[in-house]
Amino acid sequence: MALRFIVPALVAGLALVPSGVARPADPKPVAAFTLADADGKKWAVADQKAKFTVVAFLALECPMSNGYLPVLGEVATKYADKGVALVGVFPDTETTPAQAAAHAKEYKVLFPVFADREQVSVAALGPKVTPEVVVLDEKLVVRYRGRIDDGFAARLK
């Protein structure tokens, strides 16, 4: 069975797990960090109250990253009422908040996006490439880090 959408399946599956279920030995929440959008509006990981927060690491000039924007938009829309919040982060040291906002407007992105020139989110969440996602639970513990889906190779054609 091929996994077509890893993140949607993971989010759907995690949403079904009762919050009282025992989890592995005392996992630690991620380090706190704050980002700001082009208007200066702050977004702090520590303030997130969703059942799951999905942080998608993106790149302005990456065709693979841009190709995933509609998929991520579908995840954001489909799972918002199930307690899932999705945000996009452009961790390139050269990307400004204004560029991130313009890119989101051009690609009709359906979720908040932030530039992270200081890469505080990278230090806290540990992504290795773009595009990549990190899924945090309600206690801000990393539950998944990796590819968005298994369509990576197909998107290269």
Provide the token pair at 93: 């040291």
Of residues 97, 103, 89, the one with CA closest to residue 61 = 103
- Residue 59 and residue 90 in contact, taking contact as beta carbons nearer than 8 Å: yes
Instruction: Look up residue 40 and give its amino acid.
Output: G
pLDDT of residue 126: 95
Residue 122 to residue 10: CA distance in whole angstroms: 21
pLDDT of residue 3: 38
Q: Angle, to 10 degrees, between the axis of helix 6-16 and the axis of helix 63-79?
A: 30
155 against 87, higher pLDDT: 87
Pairing outcome for strands 132-137 and 142-146 = antiparallel
pLDDT tens sequence across 43-85? 999 999 999 999 999 999 999 999 999 999 999 999 999 999 9
Mean pLDDT of the chain: 87
Whole-model pTM: value is 0.84
- Residue 147 and residue 6 in contact, taking contact as beta carbons nearer than 8 Å: yes
